[in-house]
Amino acid sequence: MASSPQMCLSLYHLLLLTISPLRSHSSFFPSQPSSPCGPGRSWAVRLDVGSVTAGRSLERLAHSVAEEVGLENHGQVGQLEGHYLLCQGAEDSADVDSALDRNPHVLWHSQEHILRRSKRSVTFNDPKYPSQWHLHNDVKQGMDINVTGVWERNITGVGITVVVVDDGLQHTLADIQPNYSPEGSYDLNSNDPDPMPHPDGHSDNHHGTRCAGEIAAVSNNRFCAVGVAYGAKVAGIRVLDGPLTDSMEAVAFNKHYQVNDVYSCSWGPDDDGRTVDGPHPLGKAALQHGVIAGRRGFGSIFVVASGNGGQYDDNCNYDGYANSIYTVTIGAVDENGKRPFYAEECASMLAVTFSSGSRQLRSIVTSDWSLQSGTGCTDGHTGTSAAAPLAAGMVALMLQVRPCLSWRDVQHIITYTATQHDADAQADWGINGAGFHHSHKYGFGLLNAWRLVNAAKVWESVPFLVSYQSPVLKTNEGIPEYPKTLTHTWNVSLSELRQSGMQTLEHVSVTVTIVHPRRASVEIWLVCPSGMSSLIGAQRPLDVDTTGFTDWTFSTVRCWGERAEGQYSLQITDHSVLKHWKLTLYGSSMSLQQVKERRRVVEDAMGGQYLDRSFALPCPPGIDVPPEIVSPFTSSSLKSLLLLGCFALFWSLYYTLEVTLTHWDRRGWSTTGRDRGFQAGSTGLEDSQVVEIQPEMDNESKVPDLLHLFESHAGALDLLHRLVLTQSIDELTQNLRTVRRARLPARNVILMKEVITTPSHSCRSSVV
Ligand SMILES: [Ca+2]
Ligand SMILES: [Ca+2]
Ligand SMILES: [Ca+2]
Ligand SMILES: [Ca+2]
């Protein structure tokens, strides 16, 4: 005992480092063993718990095993049932490993060695870091994103680029310049590569710079603050400083999409409580194109802010960017973890993270522009605008540890790891059929960087996306006045799902056309087969629109992971007429059992053991996506000229495709390819890269099937190449991409009139 008490103590401390949570000394040495554990003289063993016979304790089994192999039992290791530390006396030199190998009760054993460990702590000399409560909250326990442990393991977003789509980015700032990515940047307002913000009369073109600072402000440079992913690159796309058109938005969403991994969008339609708007056809097409072709086919990650219309009872399900299945919709909570007055609720919200609250609560400290009255640093960044970039930064951390996560993997991991933080009854948490908790206020809960990164490390890509679409269900039925409801149901049978292979759900969408004299009064619920209900259309007192909804798509994430089969019920209340509706399910072939198994794997990884080890799952390399069309339209006049010039080419190509497809269909050829999806093996691609999405059948944008096939799978380009021999693959790709961006029959692309869609796309900073 005299020779090595310090050794024993240090070994004990080392074990403490590897075992979490920490254990008390008494449980570690329960029986006061006579000999200490010297270096190289201790073995950790895992006993076969199943071999403990009735009336006999594990502890006794451990004693007898220790005796059999000539060691002494030093007790259970922490709280790890069945794991014991066995030690050798100072003089013994028997071959313990062989004895343990032979012992039938020992499942696993390992001789312990001294582990080299140095104390970890992150300290920064950035003067405002201590006020960045969202990164480390010393005042309100748990009210931060839990990121410091991730940084301590050198996970800071290295190798990942996040682009801020906003009003510009002052990349010359000390906190931005070293992390600035000119390769990912562009200025769509002035058509040049430099997204530098322009000073304006209101001094408010600082928004993009503030968001960028939250993501990747440089650490340890004695200046201002630290970003969530301070090792990542940050780019800027300037698009909000001037009139915004659908095509500009579309270009922005795909700009440099092999450089930019995550698109952070802290803006959206007006949050006035009466607007119903979202991406227009080109913007929608670009979002879809981005998740298919961005990041070498793993999909661009679009993070959007849920909106700041809380005080007007606005709801993010009336915001098409939030509703979109391609976006990660992020809401805000204040420093108390509560919904601030400005934050919107909705069924399509995935999760929340921190931002400003009432006047008494702290706002977000981040970089700021130094133009006009700016100092390069602010403690006043607010609104859901401030929340979305934090989420984008956390996604960058996830992608560093696992670069091949698909856009859907990222959404899944958020769903699996977000924490239910507010037990308030008003939070209205519901547990769905797969065991996930969701609240219209908080999505699946609070984003937690530690949990996200650990889950990312062990996450295997989900099977490819499949969808199911009901026919358009025409009703023309009157909707009774509140509180009576009109209920419409639609059954989705197993045999219908078998075609696509869908077993469990991700997003569920409902597209409705409702005539109503005062839209404010309509309330729409969707109930999934499990009984989980979503308020997809909330009442908005300020919405005095007299036309109702025309083909508006509401979506919900609340049925995530549940079985897809069964009866869906649409419940609408208040005096109006439901003209028609349509149900769309998105999901995959994962079974409910597999969803539950994944939850277990994710929770099992939360100890951080996989971050510490050199553990790595294989990552496929991704696909070669043809180079971007370089700046095709620099001005609207040039664009018109180009479009006119291409008209003949597009038309002939489209006609060829249509004729060919019809021909194929008759021979039953395409059904085998389309209905089953392309088999991954046939093209050497991983399942996760194969995306099958059925066309969104809105009338104005019905896409020819073949075209759709191409969107679905990069490998299909080869097929087309063989078919249309008159075109080079490059020409073909370019043409297809232009058409694909539009998601419209080629002739409509040409004829479509460009309009300024949403000139007042508002930045989502709240005015407190
Ligand atoms: Ca510029
Ligand atoms: Ca700094
Ligand atoms: Ca809104
Ligand atoms: Ca979304």
CATH 3.40.50.200 corresponds to the domain 157-462: yes
The model's confidence at residue 323, banded by pLDDT at 50, 70 and 90, is very high
Of the ligands numbered here, which is closest to the C-alpha atom of 125? 2
Which of these is catalytic: 83, 171, 206, 207?
Answer: 207
Is pLDDT at 388 greater than 90 in this prediction? yes
Distance in Å, CA 308 to ligand 3 centroid: 6
For residues 371 and 378, give the distance between their C-alpha atoms in angstroms, rounded to a whole number.
13
Distance in Å, CA 272 to ligand 3 centroid: 7
Of 380-389, 490-499, 592-601, 696-705, least confident by mean pLDDT is 696-705
Distance in Å, CA 271 to ligand 3 centroid: 4
478-504 mean pLDDT:
91
1-14 mean pLDDT:
41
The model's confidence at residue 643, banded by pLDDT at 50, 70 and 90, is low
Q: Output 679 or 198, whichever has higher pLDDT.
A: 198
Distance in Å, CA 398 to ligand 2 centroid: 22
User: Which of these, 701, 620, 703, lies nearest to 657 by C-alpha position?
Assistant: 703
So what's the pLDDT on residue 645? 56
118-145 mean pLDDT:
89
Q: Output 115 or 634, whichever has higher pLDDT.
A: 115
Of the ligands numbered here, which is closest to the C-alpha atom of 236? 1
Residue 529 CA, distance from chain mean position = 25
So what's the pLDDT on residue 687? 32
Of the ligands numbered here, which is closest to the C-alpha atom of 764? 3
Q: Is 313 exposed, middle or buried (0-12, 13-18, 19+ CB in 10 A)?
A: middle
Strand partners, 443: 439
143-149 mean pLDDT:
97
So what's the pLDDT on residue 694? 34
- For this structure, is 57 an active site residue? no
Distance in Å, CA 236 to ligand 1 centroid: 11
Other Cβ atoms within 10 Å of 49 Cβ, number: 13
Of 88-92, 192-196, 381-385, least confident by mean pLDDT is 88-92
Which of these is catalytic: 385, 509, 765, 766?
Answer: 385
Exposure string for 729-740, b = 16+ CB within 10 A, e = fewer: eeebbbbbbbbb
So what's the pLDDT on residue 616? 87
Q: Output 734 or 392, whichever has higher pLDDT.
A: 392
So what's the pLDDT on residue 657? 72
Q: Output 360 or 483, whichever has higher pLDDT.
A: 360
So what's the pLDDT on residue 638? 54
Digit-coded pLDDT (tens) for 259-279: 999 999 999 999 999 999 999
For residues 635 and 658, give the distance between their C-alpha atoms in angstroms, rounded to a whole number.
31
- H or E segment and range at residue 286: helix 281-293
652-660 mean pLDDT:
65
For residues 95 and 187, give the distance between their C-alpha atoms in angstroms, rounded to a whole number.
70
Using alpha carbons only, how large is the chain's radius of gyration in Å? 29
Instruction: Give the whole-number percent of the chain exceeding pLDDT 70.
Output: 76
Hey, do 31-111 and 157-462 end up sharing a CATH topology, with the first three levels equal? no
DSSP 130-188: GG-TTT--SSSTT-S---HHHHHTT-S-TT-EEEEEES---TTSTTTGGGB-GGG-EET
The model's confidence at residue 54, banded by pLDDT at 50, 70 and 90, is confident
Of the ligands numbered here, which is closest to the C-alpha atom of 224? 2
For residues 332 and 14, give the distance between their C-alpha atoms in angstroms, rounded to a whole number.
39
192-203 mean pLDDT:
92
Residue 445 CA, distance from chain mean position = 13
354-383 mean pLDDT:
95
For residue 40, what are its two tokens?
């190289």
122-130 mean pLDDT:
94
Distances (CA, A) of 716 to 106, 651, 677, 682, 722: 53, 21, 11, 11, 10
The model's confidence at residue 650, banded by pLDDT at 50, 70 and 90, is low
- For this structure, is 576 an active site residue? no
DSSP 727-742: S-HHHHHHHHHHHHHH
Is pLDDT at 111 greater than 60 in this prediction? yes
Q: Is 28 exposed, middle or buried (0-12, 13-18, 19+ CB in 10 A)?
A: middle
581-585 mean pLDDT:
96
Of the ligands numbered here, which is closest to the C-alpha atom of 205? 1
451-462 mean pLDDT:
97
- H or E segment and range at residue 63: helix 58-68
Q: Is 716 left (phi over 0), alpha (psi -120 to 50) or beta?
A: alpha
Give the strand pairing for 430-431 and 437-438: antiparallel
Distance in Å, CA 472 to ligand 1 centroid: 46
Other Cβ atoms within 10 Å of 349 Cβ, number: 29
User: Which of these, 620, 700, 710, 731, lies nearest to 292 by C-alpha position?
Assistant: 710
Distances (CA, A) of 124 to 56, 143, 173: 54, 20, 18
So what's the pLDDT on residue 662? 57
So what's the pLDDT on residue 717? 37
The model's confidence at residue 737, banded by pLDDT at 50, 70 and 90, is low
Q: Please list the alpha-helical segments (H only) found in 19-50.
A: 25-28
* Mean of the per-residue pLDDT values of the chain: 82
Residues 6+ apart with CB under 8 A from 395: 162, 261, 262, 301, 303, 328, 410, 452
Distance in Å, CA 151 to ligand 2 centroid: 15
Is pLDDT at 739 greater than 50 in this prediction? no
User: Which of these, 161, 131, 126, 127, lies nearest to 144 by C-alpha position?
Assistant: 131
Of 420-424, 726-730, 735-739, 749-753, least confident by mean pLDDT is 749-753
Is pLDDT at 58 greater than 50 in this prediction? yes
Contact 281, 742 (CB under 8 A): yes
Is pLDDT at 119 greater than 80 in this prediction? no
Distance in Å, CA 213 to ligand 2 centroid: 9
Helix (H, G, I), strand (E, B) or coil at 454: helix
| Backbone dihedral angles phi then psi of residue 317, each to the nearest 5 degrees | -75, -5
For residue 64, what are its two tokens?
């007898």
Domain ranges for the chain? 31-111, 157-462, 467-590, 648-762
So what's the pLDDT on residue 767? 56
- Cis peptide preceding 21, ω within 30 of 0: yes
78-106 mean pLDDT:
86
Which of these is catalytic: 126, 144, 166, 261?
Answer: 166
User: Which of these, 208, 340, 352, lies nearest to 267 by C-alpha position?
Assistant: 208
For residue 235, what are its two tokens?
């780019």
Distance in Å, CA 112 to ligand 4 centroid: 48
Amino acid (one-letter) located at 745 = P
Distance in Å, CA 109 to ligand 4 centroid: 47
Residue 259 CA, distance from chain mean position = 18
Q: Show the 3-state SS of 579-601.
A: EEEEEEEEEECCCHHHHHHHHHH
Is pLDDT at 614 greater than 90 in this prediction? no
So what's the pLDDT on residue 761? 65
For residue 575, what are its two tokens?
């005096």
CATH 3.30.70.850 corresponds to the domain 31-111: yes
Is pLDDT at 105 greater than 60 in this prediction? yes
Q: Please list the alpha-helical segments (H only) found in 361-462.
A: 384-401, 407-417, 449-458
For residues 196 and 189, give the distance between their C-alpha atoms in angstroms, rounded to a whole number.
11
Is pLDDT at 666 greater than 50 in this prediction? no
So what's the pLDDT on residue 546? 93
Contact 92, 70 (CB under 8 A): yes
Q: Output 581 or 11, whichever has higher pLDDT.
A: 581
Q: Output 557 or 651, whichever has higher pLDDT.
A: 557
For residues 175 and 378, give the distance between their C-alpha atoms in angstroms, rounded to a whole number.
12
Give the strand pairing for 327-333 and 351-354: parallel
- For this structure, is 207 an active site residue? yes
For residue 353, what are its two tokens?
């993270």
For residue 330, what are its two tokens?
């992020």
Distance in Å, CA 230 to ligand 2 centroid: 9
Distance in Å, CA 329 to ligand 4 centroid: 5
So what's the pLDDT on residue 2? 36
List the shell of residues around ion ligand 2, using CB closer than 5 Å: 126, 175, 218, 221, 223-224
| Backbone dihedral angles phi then psi of residue 445, each to the nearest 5 degrees | 125, -160
Contact 240, 267 (CB under 8 A): yes
Of the ligands numbered here, which is closest to the C-alpha atom of 328? 4
48-54 mean pLDDT:
83
Domain 467-590: CATH class, spelled out: mainly beta
What torsion do the CA atoms of 403, 683, 494, 599 make, to the nearest 10 degrees?
Answer: -20
Q: Output 740 or 219, whichever has higher pLDDT.
A: 219
Distance in Å, CA 553 to ligand 3 centroid: 15
Indicate the pTM of the whole model: 0.72
339-356 mean pLDDT:
97
Of the ligands numbered here, which is closest to the C-alpha atom of 221? 2
Digit-coded pLDDT (tens) for 198-230: 998 887 899 999 999 999 999 999 999 999 999
